């Protein structure tokens, strides 16, 4: 009985009469000199597992798994440009020689078995710094000095909410220092061998804090109007673009909406994206929320943030990446095929299933190359694959689409 059922599933999986159109999700995309083999990007995923900002064995395991996932690009977690820019004392950094040496070794080790492009998200947590890892928040947000904590900084001296530390307001010297730290980390990232940089300007961290009227109450040239609030983030982005090789992409994760009355809206997002485009930024990833308490989040349904990317792409022409509950193969493919975004970024889906791109490719009738050590688990070589993952369309003939980059 089970043998007959398995044979039937295999027939359905590889029926040669099924004619498939190439999927949009597995078409290449080029930014500057880097071509991604497909449109799947692994989002930055904070691990809270560093020591003094330096990567540890956990990062080798974590990123090693993603490096053989078949995605078009992996972006390393939010990586602080200074010790006070870390979200928590356990966050990754790229501000010291030790940090740089560890990430250089990590990339070199990954490239022994994978040529997937590697990016890094550079960040400063601003007033949301010096807090605890997510699993320790029951102890409270603020980390006392005796446990390695510090006083955070921000555009204005206002705490995120009750129980958080009040940040020190940045003066002009402090702003210049932070801009220079972003540039220094950019130079280090290039020396490490990263192919791609994303600037974190969302989720209530420092650069987002300057943009939002909820958190920026300055009266100097960096506060007040929308243009003035955007000045510091744009100065940072422009300085980083100048410091990063011209052939390598640099993008920004921005906020589509603060989800708090009086905060940033999609109209602000579009204007900021245009400004980023005009200074040579290659793409934006509109996320949302987390800058202030009192958020009124819309229903978190599959693709709930896609409309932000769709409007930004339509009105600015800048390349867009989208996020937010993208979990299923046809959903992901339709986002790209319909022109709503140019790339999709997955986070929790890839933590749940590190082979997500393999399984999506199979459902869309695509064939991506697997590491030879794992090839026996592919649909072609594992008779139980249809039983585990459901019936599959046929695998088209031709060269496999690999998760790697070409440089022109």
Q: Which residues are catalytic?
A: 205
* Contact yes or no for 360/381 (Cβ under 8 A): no
What are 114's two structure tokens? 């994978």
**Strand order in 405-407's β-sheet?**
29-31, 34-36, 405-407
Q: Which CA distances in Å does 78 have to 37, 85, 340?
A: 24, 10, 26
Cα three-residue angle 62-68-69, rounded to 5 degrees: 85
- For 250, residues 6+ apart whose C-beta sits below 8 A from its C-beta are 196, 197, 198, 199, 237, 240, 241, 244, 280, 281, 282
Would you tell me the crossing angle of helices 266-278 and 306-316 to the nearest 10 degrees?
A: 50
Do the beta carbons of residue 34 and residue 196 sit within 8 Å?
A: yes
Cα–Cα distance measured from residue 262 to residue 183, given in angstroms and rounded to the nearest whole number: 32
State the first-to-last Cα distance of the chain, in angstroms, to the nearest integer.
54
Strand-strand pairing, 29-31 and 34-36: antiparallel
Query: In the structure encoding, which two tokens stand for residue 323, read together?
Result: 């996020």
Question: By CB neighbour count within 10 A (0-12 exposed, 13-18 middle, 19+ buried), where does 347 fall?
Answer: middle
Q: Which residues contact 249 (CB under 8 A, 6 or more apart)?
A: 31, 32, 34, 195, 196, 197, 282, 283
In b/e form, how buried is each residue of 270-279, taking b as 16+ CB within 10 angstroms?
Answer: bbbbebbbee
């Amino acid at each position: 009985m089970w043998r007959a059922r398995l044979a039937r599933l295999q027939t359905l999986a590889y029926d040669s009469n099924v004619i498939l159109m190439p999927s949009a999700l597995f078409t290449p995309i080029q930014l500057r000199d880097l071509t991604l083999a497909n449109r799947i990007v692994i989002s930055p995923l904070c691990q809270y597992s560093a020591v003094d900002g330096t990567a540890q064995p956990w990062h080798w395991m974590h990123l090693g798994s993603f490096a053989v996932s078949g995605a078009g690009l992996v972006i390393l977690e939010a990586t602080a440009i200074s010790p006070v820019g870390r979200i928590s004392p356990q966050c990754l950094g790229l501000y010291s020689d030790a940090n740089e040496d560890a990430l250089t070794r990590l990339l070199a080790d990954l490239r022994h078995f994978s040529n997937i492009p590697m990016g890094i998200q550079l960040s400063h947590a601003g007033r949301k710094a010096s807090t605890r890892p997510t699993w320790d928040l029951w102890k409270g947000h603020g980390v006392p000095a005796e446990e390695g904590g510090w006083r955070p900084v921000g555009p204005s001296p206002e705490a995120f909410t009750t129980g958080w530390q009040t940040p020190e307001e940045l003066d002009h010297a402090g702003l210049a220092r932070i801009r220079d730290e972003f540039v220094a980390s950019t130079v280090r990232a290039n020396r490490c061998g990263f192919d791609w940089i994303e600037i974190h300007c969302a989720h209530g961290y420092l650069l987002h804090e300057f943009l939002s009227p909820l958190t920026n109450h300055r009266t100097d040239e960096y506060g007040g109007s929308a243009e003035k609030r955007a000045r510091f983030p744009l100065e940072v982005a422009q300085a980083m673009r100048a410091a990063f090789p011209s052939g390598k992409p640099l993008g920004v994760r921005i906020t589509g909406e603060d989800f708090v009355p009086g905060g940033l809206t999609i109209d602000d997002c579009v204007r900021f994206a245009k400004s980023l485009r005009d200074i040579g930024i290659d793409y934006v990833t509109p996320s949302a929320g987390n800058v202030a308490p009192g958020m009124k989040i819309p229903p978190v349904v599959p693709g709930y943030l896609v409309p932000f990317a769709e409007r930004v792409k339509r009105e600015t022409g800048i390349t867009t990446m989208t996020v937010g509950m993208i979990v299923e193969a046809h959903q992901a493919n339709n986002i790209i095929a319909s022109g709503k975004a140019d790339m999709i970024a997955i986070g929790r889906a890839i933590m749940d299933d590190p082979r997500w791109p393999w399984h999506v490719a199979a459902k869309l009738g695509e064939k991506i190359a697997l590491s030879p050590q794992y090839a026996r688990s592919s649909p072609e070589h594992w008779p139980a694959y249809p039983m585990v993952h459901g019936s599959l369309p046929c695998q088209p003939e031709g060269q496999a689409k690999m998760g790697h980059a070409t440089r022109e």
